[in-house]
Amino acid sequence: MCSNNSRNGLNWSLISDIFSNFWDDAHSRFNIDVKRTYAAGFSGGSRLASTFASKCQGCLAGVIGCGAGFPGEIEPNPKAPFAYFGIVGVDDFNFGEMWQLEKKFNNLTTPYHFETFSGGHEWPPRENIEQALAWLRLREIKPSTTTVDKNFLEDQLKLRLTTAEKLLASQQFVDAQRAFVSVVQDFQGLIDIADAKKKAEQLSKSGELKKAVVADEELYRRQLREAGEIRMLWMKPAEPDDTGLSHSEVTSRLSELKKKRDLTTDSRDRRLARRILTQLTIESYEAAQASLRSSDYSPALVNLQLVEEIDPKSPNVSYEVARVYALKRQKKPALQSLEKAVSLGFKDGSRLKTDDAFNSLTDEPRFQKLLTTLTAQ
């Protein structure tokens, strides 16, 4: 079950009301096992799931967090009574955040499991979600249980060991060590895991693992540093003698990042480029939306222009840029951006017609021509 009105950008009071109403409605309609109630979410939804699991003190048995961890004001708590399954794409700009979160869980006794997949800031593939559900089911099995589903245990162990061996064979040492350690944690006392325990110990002492960990840490630092530098240069106020050098440098750096992003073979450089570009896109878009909510149009425009620099072929970004120009009463660039959006594939004529941001353009012939074109499609 999921909420239809929960989304990013809402204040905490409204989110809390949505969750409470949703919770009450769900429990009034269905006979829900209070010991097997879980929450899952992606990105902001992942943070929301972790927030309520932490605050409701026992209402949730577990969380499946995808593409983001805990919100800034909440930390994993050794007394928190819920299990945590984290999933993140290797190209996700939040990869480093999830990696840091895993380190925090390493120091706790709280049940946890982390997995990665080949992808970016997106919902993981079906098999990862299925594995998350199987892991939560596994958490319910206790060593003292007399009616253990042996077939389930053996199938899960076989699947997990096969995955770990494949990761080791492909020299993905960090993921392989994580996989073997997780097998030991999850199956201890339930089934023989001596071989997995031995391999986990061997990997933990290997030089290859230590090198991979150092390389991952450096990649995370580079992401934060380079993304911060690019945003600082782009948002830098223009000086009287500014000849556009700051934006020129950003354009050049983005061009190099996009070349690496589009490489066909996975590499650290490709992962870094994809993480930086996605981070800049999401941070800039969210900053623009925050500025628009307070009618602060200039920073909103600059942020959206950075998004447009990263993705110049997005009709929706060009449409958003046009909206801000129109709100600033700058008709010519507003019309130019609208025409660009249509040329790139924007087709929502009803949205354009009813968008109050364009009230100042409704009498313009170019605007009416765009409306006619979209209505005819």
The Cα–Cα gap between 205 and 337 comes to 57
Same domain? For 176 and 247 the reply is no
Going from the C-alpha of 337 to that of each of 268, 290, 326, 351, the distances in angstroms are: 36, 21, 10, 16
Q: Give the rounded percent of residues in the chain with a pLDDT score beyond 90.
A: 79
Which residues form the domain of 31?
12-211
Residues in the chain: 377
How many domains are contained in the chain? 2
Evaluate whether residue 52 is within a structural domain.
Answer: yes
Q: Give the DSSP letter string of 126-191.
A: HHHHHHHHHHHHHHT--TT-SS--HHHHHHHHHHHHHHHHHHHHTT-HHHHHHHHHHHHHHHTTTS
Burial environment of residue 6 by CB neighbours within 10 A (0 to 12, 13 to 18, 19 or more): middle
Domain check: are 347 and 263 in the same one? Answer: yes
Tell whether 151 and 284 lie within a shared domain.
Answer: no
Q: What pLDDT score was predicted for residue 78?
A: 81
* Orientation of helix 44-55 relative to helix 12-29, angle to 10°: 70
Q: What is the pLDDT of residues 251-295, one digit of tens each?
A: 999 999 999 999 999 999 999 999 999 999 999 999 999 999 999
Are 175 and 231 in the same domain?
A: no
Which residues, including other chains, have CB under 8 Å from residue 21's CB and lie 6 or more apart? none
Nearest to 221 by CA among 270, 178, 272, 172: 272
> pTM score, two decimals?
0.89
Same domain flag for 31 and 162: yes
Assess whether pLDDT exceeds 90 at residue 240: no
Confidence check: pLDDT of 35 > 90? no
Please tell me whether residues 204 and 252 are part of one structural domain: no
In this structure, the answer to whether residues 139 and 190 fall within a common structural domain is yes
How far is it, in rounded angstroms, from Cα 76 to Cα 150?
Answer: 32
Same domain for 146 and 231?
no
- C-alpha 88, offset from chain centre: 7
Structural domain includes residue 131: yes
